[in-house]
Amino acid sequence: MARAAATQPRCGELHITDAEFDRFRDFFYRKTGIRFEDSKRYFVDKRLIQRIEGTGHRGFRDYFAFMRFQASGEEFQELVNLMTVNETYFFREEYQLRCMVSDLLGEVLHYKRAGETVRIWSMPCSTGEEPYSIALYLLEYWDLIDRVDVEIVASDIDTRALERAKQGLFSKRSVSHLPRWILGKYFEPAPGGYHRLCDDLRASVNFRRINLCDLNETKGMRNFDLIFCRNLLIYFDEASQRLAVQTLYDALNPGGFVLLGHSESMSRITSVFKVRRFRDAVVYQRSA
Amino acid sequence: MRRALIVDDAVTVRLYHRKILEEAGFQVEEAENGVEALEKALVTPYDLLLVDVNMPKMDGYTLLREVRSTPELEGVPAIMISTESEKHDREHAYRVGANLYLVKPVRPEAFRLLAALMARNGESR
Amino acid sequence: MGLVKADGKPAATSKPSPRKYTRDLTGLLAELNDQQPKARRWAARDLVAYGEEAVGALCERLRTEPEPSVREALFDALLAIGGDAVVEGLIPLLRGEDAGLRNGAVEVLGQLPEAVGPRMEVLLADPNPDVRLFGLDILRDLPHPEAPRWLMGVLEQDPHVNVVTVALDRLAEVGTPEMTPAVRAVKDRFPDEPFVAFAVDTALDRILGGE
């Protein structure tokens, strides 16, 4: 388990020893299910030192005790934010979109009556990249889209993000993972190097402001077949996570699926969903 | 190389069992509870599962019941390793599909031998 | 066919089944035993509003509830209510046969520090080592100032090897340097147990930061 000392960042006197790294790594894994490999050592140490200094602690030991026993859990959440990278762009985590068209929708149609609308909830949708990616993927990669109605509901707690989503104006970076022909087919160039999504696509997603942790706001969210809830639960405290997964469960039709972000897992939150493995992804299903 | 999955919520136990199993030539992975074990076992074909009883979110009995009723997993050999030594605990473990029931703490020599005996040979995949 | 919007159509109604029950305490308690899991889930959630009055019925239902999704709703409701009555109702589950119930109870109890605190020493002194182990599991994330002292008590006094090694496991995460003599001393109490030696060394390494 010896690790090269040269790879450890040194900021003044502060450095993280191997045993301290292990102590932190095991704690973080227990709480989040995310396990840092040795290759992430530099990344983790740097952020730990940043927080040790940011909170005015003398070293790892004091800081860890402070973070571990803080009743509010704020510092732990701060670490989660720092240790996980959250950005949004078109076709992010594309393997899940592939899973949707190659496996999940087929199972969904199996339990639905002929002619019934398939309902998808994308949340948190931020500035719209995720729900529009779902729409694009359905139109371009799902043969049955001509014969089945699909409704996409997208929600976020942030009204400014929702406004931007509805405007449909995206930066170069945001569309950089899209195949060129899709960009040409559904977007037009806009001033400042931006790309504007065509009106039809913008009109196809139903945007709403919803707070997932407010039971009154989520009571109307029912009868969904797929829920994309990526990179959200990991930023919630334990009580909010519990509440949120109950809401997801109730929002799904029996047999429907939840998709989480690639570093997220239900394993620290609930066993209420059945774990399903398909060729492209592991997803969670509400039992029929 | 044969692959084993250690399912236990105590990091010290995982480290200890890992050490013994690695000495016996296993490639070892870990899960903290039953749900994570299912997530991993559905992706990686293991030759042996080592399952604790009391864990958060999903306990070992429930995990084994799930494993035995999942077509891709039903044949994986599983050793349940528990702190509970009562006769009914043992019976319960075998009823839900354990192939062997050991009481903690394990003796390294016996554990190494039993794990090697119980595991699939790793070539059947 | 294709992408559609449900604009103008009201969102699906919130309560799925026709109202067989009144939404007061009597009605909800009856609904808690409904045939439909969905109804029982909603009853559990809505009973939170009645606080302590509902605790007895929620705990009672837990003992017989077969459906995992309803069980989780029952545990969540009890956690949301909190307080002495919930702790009193859940502690007996730790002695039960059902591992799912035991561990669900542990998770809820671990988040109720104020009500659990005064009962911790009794739990950790229980004659049944399995109950003491659950005590340590509850302690794991319990934000309580006495937690390190309770752990030290187990370390120094508990006669059972599995209880002591679990205490060592917890100390590997939360221990502080002044605890190291007590950690070291455990080896002498169980000289023939290789796992104890391993757990002591691991805890010492983590506590001292490998220095």
Could you tell me the residue ranges of all domains in chain C?
145-211
Q: What is the pLDDT of residues A242-274, one digit of tens each?
A: 999 999 999 999 999 999 999 899 999 999 999
- Report CB contact under 8 Å: B10, C169: yes
Q: Indicate whether A51 pLDDT > 80.
A: yes
Q: Do A271 and B57 touch (CB under 8 A)?
A: yes
Looking at the complex, report in whole angstroms how far the Cα of residue B18 sits from the nearest Cα belonging to chain C.
12
A155 interface with C at CB cutoff 8 Å: no
Rounded to an integer, the average pLDDT of A6-17 is 67
- Residues in C closer than 8 angstroms to A215, CB to CB, are 45
What number is the average pLDDT over the span A214-232?
A: 93
Q: Which domains does chain A have, with CATH numbers?
A: 5-83 (1.10.155.10), 94-286 (3.40.50.150)
Residue C115 is which amino acid? A
At B123 the pLDDT is 63
Q: What is the 3-state secondary structure (H, E, C) of B39-102?
A: HHHHHCCCCEEEECCCCCCCCHHHHHHHHHCCCCCCCCCEEEEECCCCHHHHHHHHHCCCCEEE
Can you point out the beta strands (E) in chain A? 118-122, 149-156, 169-170, 187-190, 194-197, 205-209, 224-229, 252-260, 274-277, 282-285
User: Mean pLDDT over residues A123-129, rounded?
Assistant: 95
The answer to whether C99 contacts B107, with C-beta atoms less than 8 Å apart, is no
Q: What is the pLDDT of residues C14-67, one digit of tens each?
A: 444 556 788 889 999 999 999 999 999 999 999 999 999 999 999 999 999 999
Partners of residue A95 in chain B, C-beta under 8 Å: none
User: Hey, which chains touch B, using 3+ CB pairs under 8 Å?
Assistant: A, C
Neighbouring-strand partners of residue A260: A229
ipTM: 0.94
The whole-number pLDDT of residue A238 equals 87
Residue of B nearest to A30 (CA): B32
Instruction: Please give, rounded to a whole number of angstroms, the shortest distance from the CA of C101 to a CA of chain B.
Output: 10
pLDDT of A286 higher than 80 = yes
Q: Do A242 and C209 touch (CB under 8 A)?
A: no
To the nearest whole angstrom, how far is the Cα of A11 from the nearest Cα of chain C?
A: 18
Query: How many other β-carbons are positioned within 10 Å of the β-carbon of residue C145?
Result: 9
| Residue A210, pLDDT above cutoff 70 | yes
The C-alpha of B46 sits at a distance from chain A's nearest C-alpha, in angstroms, of: 15
- Answer whether residue A54 shows pLDDT above 90: yes
Q: Which of A30, A269, A282 sits opposite B42 (nearest CB)?
A: A282
Q: Does the structure show a pLDDT above 60 at C10?
A: no
Domain C145-211 matching CATH 1.25.10: the answer reads yes
Give the mean pLDDT of A16-24. Answer: 95
Backbone angles phi, psi at A10, to 5 degrees: -120, 120
What are the distances in angstroms from CA A260 to CA A35, A83, C102?
17, 17, 28
Share of chain A above pLDDT 70, in %: 96
Euclidean distance between CA atoms B6 and C40, whole angstroms: 36
Q: With beta carbons under 8 A apart, name residues in chain C contacting A23.
A: 172-173, 206, 209
Rounded to an integer, what distance in angstroms lies between the CA atom of residue A251 and that of residue A244?
A: 10
pLDDT given at position C7? 60
pTM across the whole model = 0.92
pLDDT band at A188 (very low <50, low <70, confident <90, very high): very high
Distance from CA of C168 to the nearest CA of A (A): 13
Block residue for tokens 């050999």:
B77
Residues of chain B with pLDDT under 70: 123-125
pLDDT tens-digit profile of C133-144?
999 999 998 888
Return mean pLDDT, chain A: 92
Q: How far out from the chain centre does Cα B14 lie?
A: 11
User: Within an 8 Å CB–CB cutoff, is residue A152 touching chain C?
Assistant: yes
Q: Are C77 and C48 in contact (CB under 8 A)?
A: yes
Confidence at residue C14, expressed as pLDDT on a 0 to 100 scale: 43
Scan for tokens 């739990």, then name that residue: C123
Quick one: closest CA in A to C205, which residue? Answer: A19
Identify any residues that bridge with C152 across adjacent strands, giving them in sequence order.
Answer: none
Mutate to test the interface with A, among C4, C108, C109, C146 (most CBs of A within 10 A): C4
Q: Quote the CA–CA distance of B90 and B100 in Å, as a whole number.
A: 9
Query: Is A242 an interface residue toward B (CB < 8 Å)?
Result: no
Residue A7 scores a pLDDT above 70? no
Phi, psi angles (nearest 5°) of residue A155: -135, 155
Predicted local distance difference test score (pLDDT) of residue B49: 98
Identify the pLDDT of residue A280. 95
Interface mutation vs chain A, best among B38, B64, B69, B73, most A CBs within 10 Å: B38
Cβ contacts of A269 on chain B, cutoff 8 Å: 57
Record: contact C103-B12, CB cut-off 8 A:
no
Alpha-carbon torsion B43, B46, B48, B50, what sign? negative
Neighbours of chain A (3+ CB pairs under 8 A): B, C
Average pLDDT over chain C reads 91
The reply to whether residue C169 touches residue B83, judged by beta carbons under 8 angstroms, is no
Look at residue A1 in the predicted model and tell me its pLDDT: 42
Query: Inter-chain contact B32–A269, Cβ cutoff 8 Å?
Result: no
Q: What is the pLDDT of residue C18?
A: 54
Residue A90 has pLDDT above 60, yes or no: yes
Residue of A nearest to C145 (CA): A69
- Asked if residue A4 has pLDDT above 70, the reply is no
Confidence (pLDDT) at C17: 52
- Please report the pLDDT score of residue A16 as a whole number: 95
Cβ–Cβ contact A104 with C under 8 A? no
